[in-house]
Amino acid sequence: MTIHRVIRHVQRYQGWVGGGAALCLTVGLYLGLLGSPPDYYQGEVVRIMYIHVPLAHTALLGYTVLAGGSAWYLWKRDPIIDNMCHAVAALSACFTALALLTGMIWGKPTWDTWWTWDARLTSFTVLLLILLGYLMVRTVVDDLDKAARYGAVLAILGFVDLPIIHFSVEWWRTLHQPQSISMRGVSIASGLLAPLVVMSVGMSLLFSYMLMIRTQLLYLNRLLDAKKGRLLHQFHMSKADS
Amino acid sequence: MSMTAISCQHLGKAYGHYQVLHDVNLTLAPGECFTLLGPNGAGKTTLLKILATLQRPSEGHYEMLGMNGQTDRDALRSHFVFLAHSTHVYDDLNARENLAFALALRGQRPTDHDIKMALDRVHIGAFAEMKTRHYSAGMKKRLALARTMLARPRILLLDEPFTALDSDGTAIMRDYIGERLSDNGTVIMATHDPEQARPVTTRAGRLRHGTLQEIALDSCVRRNDGRDMQPDDAFS
Amino acid sequence: MSMTAISCQHLGKAYGHYQVLHDVNLTLAPGECFTLLGPNGAGKTTLLKILATLQRPSEGHYEMLGMNGQTDRDALRSHFVFLAHSTHVYDDLNARENLAFALALRGQRPTDHDIKMALDRVHIGAFAEMKTRHYSAGMKKRLALARTMLARPRILLLDEPFTALDSDGTAIMRDYIGERLSDNGTVIMATHDPEQARPVTTRAGRLRHGTLQEIALDSCVRRNDGRDMQPDDAFS
Amino acid sequence: MTPFLKTIRWILWKDLVIELRCRETIASMVFFALIVILIFSFSFSMDQQAAHDVLAGMIWVAFAFTGMIGLGKSFSAELQNDCLEALQMAPVSRGTLYLGKVAANFAFMFVVEILLFPMFVILFNVDVVEDLSLLLVVFSLATAGLAAVGTLFAALTVHIRAREVMLPILLLPMVVPVMIAAVEATKGALNGDPLSLYRPWLELLAIFDVVFTIVSFWMFDFVMDA
Amino acid sequence: MTPFLKTIRWILWKDLVIELRCRETIASMVFFALIVILIFSFSFSMDQQAAHDVLAGMIWVAFAFTGMIGLGKSFSAELQNDCLEALQMAPVSRGTLYLGKVAANFAFMFVVEILLFPMFVILFNVDVVEDLSLLLVVFSLATAGLAAVGTLFAALTVHIRAREVMLPILLLPMVVPVMIAAVEATKGALNGDPLSLYRPWLELLAIFDVVFTIVSFWMFDFVMDA
Ligand code: HEM
Ligand SMILES: Nc1ncnc2c1ncn2[C@@H]1O[C@H](COP(=O)(O)OP(=O)(O)OP(=O)(O)O)[C@@H](O)[C@H]1O
Ligand SMILES: Nc1ncnc2c1ncn2[C@@H]1O[C@H](COP(=O)(O)OP(=O)(O)OP(=O)(O)O)[C@@H](O)[C@H]1O
Ligand SMILES: [Mg+2]
Ligand SMILES: [Mg+2]
């Protein structure tokens, strides 16, 4: 049994990715928490942005990867791609949930509310629901092959839907509420921008690193399953022959 | 017509980590009827479902009438009929409508007369206008047989074709198989009752440990009472 | 123990205006095994379901072990087991849990050892911890048989007990029936295959036109190939 | 323990084991409820204030539809391999079967409600009163009512062809009193009103529970027995 | 007629014949919708004025849940005697099967909507504008969107264990744009607003329909074929 070549590549590069993530995040956090001035309006609270915004960006990036990977899987039907998709989906769901959570923590002091039906929040919530649906399908379907196919179909449909959802929610919002509370139009001072960029890169690298680990895990799990089957087979054969 | 009707090479199928089929090889020529034996859980149904394009093998590949089972599925589907455990009958349509619909999906348009003939041949002509919801198990099976007759497939995949049929039904089924064979059709039939299958069988095999061992026709009709089913019987 | 285990008088059953059973009379003593034959749609399953308290007859009445089938249903239910087409098995419980639950409902509490013995006897002991969702048809049937063994009923109602079983399973089923009989149990078994039933059968009958005609054991094993099923066969 | 209680416990055990193994009923109920809330807030374009007025109503509409999913599954799961037939042939009184199923259904519905409530609090920015124990009383009384009638109707509809839709069609009109009382009592409990203000609703719920458990207990015989 | 269209027509025929014979899908959908309305009006204690504000929302929540019942049935009905297997083995392209089922589902949902609308008008005392044709356009565009995605998801969930609940869980988040657009456009049409005011919503619906019919048409292959 040879290890899949994708896995070998992953194993070669994962150290670099992990190191890069650690570096970027350290620098970013230093710049964000200590090296930048507090916001004129929001004061120190603004620092949660350095987590919140990169998390949200990375989650979206993850979803893009998921859709691409799913299309690729349907074309090639290589189980390793499916393992990757499964891993991306779980991580994206986590990052989305964390973005929402940090957003809520930010929203309480800033807007004095945990939640508002803002366009971006709402479409992210819908995204989270789609991802959870995806994960649920994967647990409910026993047949691995079927789970992979169904998941891929869902991911692609959701990806196509995402922009439509976003626009519809935005129009709906503008129709119903004056923009008293909105995340739009906050011009980010250039002093705040640098740490934000570094943090975003770092968060994406962290995502990639976790993705590499998790893909390997799922892949090895699958190998183990196959191995178990083969051992069982050999065991029974030997018993039958004796 | 090509000389091989069905050929399977190294077919394998795993459910999770159960390797149900391991290395199944089989080549059938037109006019052959292959009887598939094997203990409960051996993978007979699984093998038939793979051939019927209902499941994908996890290893190996197969061809029917020269068409690849993985890539030419749409073309291949018009050449076989799979008579499964379930009868594929809509309970709220009557027998006639069921036949018309099923054949329309195959691109065929049997006349009312054809349909009547087929129903008569399986002896349920008198129930042609009755919703199949009220059919008994055996009557539904007969309807499925009538559908198969009308479809005139070149390949017949039969999963325990004699269950639910009484002796009269069994005879009809056997006659029909014989007729297909003499018409150069090919039949694979999974069954637990080699005696019933014997009159039409030309070759037989036994699934064990996930592989197919061809057996002589004589030995297959001898019953092997008293053998234990062990995990190694069911899963190879 | 009373001398009649089962007695049916003038049992009739109509579905809407289909009179499936018309006038069924049957009296069985302990230790007898009655094999119920008849063409598809004759009403064998219907008769068994009535005896199993799953349906009410539209005419007539019946008794089991002296208990009236219409009024003493709760008491009666602890004395028979009905082994139906479907296996009454929860797909998401494993074999052990399935047995424990089913017997708990009967007020029995088998030890782990009992359960293990029963599973071993039907040769699926190796799969005791596997969800039955992944069992094949025959394995589920074996599990149902193990459940029956543990329940130790005085009356056994069997609907096509040999389908889905391979020759090994068939032998186990037959052994068990024999054992029940010698233990003064009573068995009614609907089947299409009198040969398989023959070794344990003590009496046999054929359902036709909704009535039960007792037939001699010899004649019942002769197959009547080529008979047509006509409406009058199935519905009286 | 009497055989009566033992049977009830075994049925509860069976349903719980299957749920723990597949973890799908509760997860899907929670998930479904979230989506119902989302769709409501779009369709009724609710801002926080409007939402606050109808919060209790929304909670109970979501709970009722979610509960119906659990109820439906509790019997449709018995259809696999015709297990329901086995229950019908079991030598126990039908009432025992009924109570076992009611217990299991109540457990599932109640757990789901406990999981969902915090989400309502967050999404609609509710100021939660300190004392949640009264709310728990309201929830359990109303849930018991839904489970008592719902279990009977789930058994009744399980063999009907259009079962998924027949259950709500039959059940919802029947539990209108539960819904009204639950909404009003929940409003009271959420506002921190004095108990005396909404006590009649609690009494109504209690009466409904007792009456319908007893009636359904008897009626179950005719539903389950041929 | 090409074989392609013929197959679509046969599938439509089959579903319609079964429906005409049993008349249960449409009847139960209508009935269910009525009960949803009933429960809403109790839970949200709506007077006529309040009801008028949320009428469009209520209409579409009722339609969506009702539609889901029809969608679920359209494939679960294929499970009897494993008829779905027969469809899977049929020598026609999967896209044909998809379009046939979409056509049948659209027909059922649309008929139900046409039957239900007058009831809303009566129950909530709506002043109906003279020109209903625009409303029909809104209804058909939105229904087409629900049917296009819904049919795919119904096929996808039909073999899943918790199918009744997985369908709404997967489908509803996906059709959020349809719901929003349908509610807004219906509001406009009911108020008799000038078309220009809600035209963008109609365009959104049209785009959704086209995009998702095409995508689902392709994806159906992967859902139905092993
Ligand atoms: C419960 C959810 C959320 C809350 C309460 C929240 C809260 C906030 C707050 C208070 C700000 C600062 C805005 C200001 O200064 O006025 C902000 C900014 C931001 N949030 Fe969120 N947020 C949430 C979810 C999200 C999500 C899901 C995203 C994903 C796209 C997101 C992306 C952003 C971005 C990019 C900014 C930077 C400001 C901008 O560029 O417009 N937030 N958020
Ligand atoms: N979906 C599935 N998931 C996991 N295992 C499965 C699945 N389907 C079948 N199996 C397993 O595959 C094996 C073969 O099953 P199959 O139905 O092909 O047997 P069979 O030879 O037809 O048996 P029988 O004679 O009892 O019908 C069985 O052991 C069964 O447990
Ligand atoms: N629920 C029902 N409604 C109407 N008719 C029914 C119903 N159930 C069974 N029947 C009819 O009753 C007759 C007897 O059915 P039953 O299943 O008892 O036959 P059987 O002898 O077991 O046949 P088989 O050998 O095919 O299993 C059949 O003609 C069937 O059409
Ligand atoms: Mg089989
Ligand atoms: Mg029968």
Q: Which atom of ligand 2 is nearest to the CA of B234?
A: 29
Domain count, chain A: 1
- Containing domain of residue E209, as a range? 3-225
Segment E126-136 shows an average pLDDT of 80
Could you please state the CATH topology (level 3) that the domain comprising C1-79+156-236 is classified under.
Rossmann fold (3.40.50)
Residue having the nearest C-alpha atom to atom 5 of ligand 3: B134
Angle B10-B15-B17 from CA coordinates, rounded to 5°: 95
Residue segments in chain B with a per-residue pLDDT below the cut of 70: 1-2, 17, 217-236
User: In angstroms, rounded to a whole number, what is the distance separating the alpha carbons of residues B223 and C1?
Assistant: 39
Tell me if D35 and E172 make a contact (CB, 8 A cut-off): yes
- Containing domain of residue A69, as a range? 51-177
Chain B residues near any Cβ of chain A (below 8 Å): 14-19, 22, 56, 209-210, 230-233, 235-236
pLDDT score of E37: 84
DSSP one-letter string for A7-57: HHHHHHHHHHHHHHHHHHHHHHHHIIIIISPPBTTTBGGGGGHHHHHHHHH
- What's the whole-number average pLDDT of chain E? 89
Determine the straight-line distance between the first and last CA of chain E, rounded to whole angstroms: 30
Assigned domain for A46 exists:
no
Residue A42 and residue A192 in contact, taking contact as beta carbons nearer than 8 Å? no
The DSSP bridge partners found for residue C10 are: none
ipTM of the complex model? 0.79
Residue segments in chain D with a per-residue pLDDT below the cut of 70: 1, 45-51, 129
pLDDT score of D112: 94
pLDDT score of B71: 87
Q: How confident is the model at residue A118 (pLDDT cuts 50, 70, 90)?
A: confident
Between the alpha carbon of residue C132 and those of residues B137, C166, D85, the distances in Å are 24, 18, 18
pLDDT in tens, C196-224: 899 999 999 999 888 999 988 665 443 33
State whether residue E92 sits within 8 Å of chain B by CB.
Answer: yes
Tell me if C126 and B223 make a contact (CB, 8 A cut-off): no
Which residues of chain D does A176 touch, with a Cβ-Cβ cutoff of 8 Å?
A: 45, 47
User: In angstroms, rounded to a whole number, what is the distance separating the alpha carbons of residues C38 and C42?
Assistant: 6
DSSP class of residue D159?
T
Backbone dihedral region for residue E201 (phi beyond 0: left; psi -120 to 50: alpha; all else: beta): alpha
pLDDT score of D40: 81
pLDDT score of A94: 96
pLDDT score of A242: 36
Tell me if A104 and D123 make a contact (CB, 8 A cut-off): no
Evaluate if residue A192 carries a pLDDT over 90: no
Q: What residue of E is the nearest CA neighbor of D61?
A: E43
Q: At what angle do helices E48-76 and D25-43 cross, to 10 degrees?
A: 140
Cβ of C138 closer than 6 Å to ligand 2, yes or no, is yes
pLDDT in tens, chain C (236 residues): 457 899 999 999 998 878 899 999 999 999 999 999 998 889 999 999 999 999 999 999 999 999 998 888 888 999 999 999 889 999 989 999 999 999 999 999 999 999 999 999 999 888 888 888 878 888 899 999 999 999 999 999 999 999 889 888 999 999 999 999 999 999 999 998 888 899 999 999 999 888 999 988 665 443 333 343 444 443 32
Evaluate if residue E161 carries a pLDDT over 80: no
Residue B157 and residue B51 in contact, taking contact as beta carbons nearer than 8 Å? yes
Assigned domain for A42 exists:
no
Assigned domain for A84 exists:
yes
DSSP class of residue C131?
B
- What's the whole-number average pLDDT of chain A? 84
Tell me if C40 and B169 make a contact (CB, 8 A cut-off): yes
C45 alpha carbon – ligand 5 mean position (Å)? 4
Q: How confident is the model at residue E146 (pLDDT cuts 50, 70, 90)?
A: very high
Q: Which of D81, E84, C164, C136 is nearest to B54 (CA)?
A: E84
Domain ranges for chain B, please list them.
1-79+156-236, 89-152
The DSSP bridge partners found for residue C187 are: C33, C156
Residue of A106, A179, A182, A186 best suited for mutating to test ligand 1, as the one with most atoms within 8 Å of CB:
A106
Q: Which of C133, C160, E73, D84 is nearest to B141 (CA)?
A: C160
pLDDT score of A233: 59
Q: Which of C194, C161, C155 is nearest to C175 (CA)?
A: C161
Helix, strand and coil in chain C, % to nearest 5: 35, 25, 35
pLDDT score of A183: 55
Which residues of chain D does C53 touch, with a Cβ-Cβ cutoff of 8 Å?
A: 88-89, 225-226
Residue of C19, C35, C44, C51 best suited for mutating to test ligand 3, as the one with most atoms within 8 Å of CB:
C44
Q: How confident is the model at residue A241 (pLDDT cuts 50, 70, 90)?
A: very low
Q: Which of D99, D96, D105 is nearest to D76 (CA)?
A: D105
C-alpha Rg value of chain B to the nearest Å: 18
Q: Which of C211, C196, C228, C195 is nearest to C42 (CA)?
A: C211
- Which of A78-82, A170-174, B221-225, E157-161 bottoms out in mean pLDDT, i.e. has the lowest? B221-225
Element (H, E) at D40: helix D25-43
pLDDT score of A2: 65
Assigned domain for A69 exists:
yes
Between the alpha carbon of residue D188 and those of residues D117, D134, E171, the distances in Å are 16, 10, 35
Domain count, chain D: 1
Q: How confident is the model at residue E110 (pLDDT cuts 50, 70, 90)?
A: very high
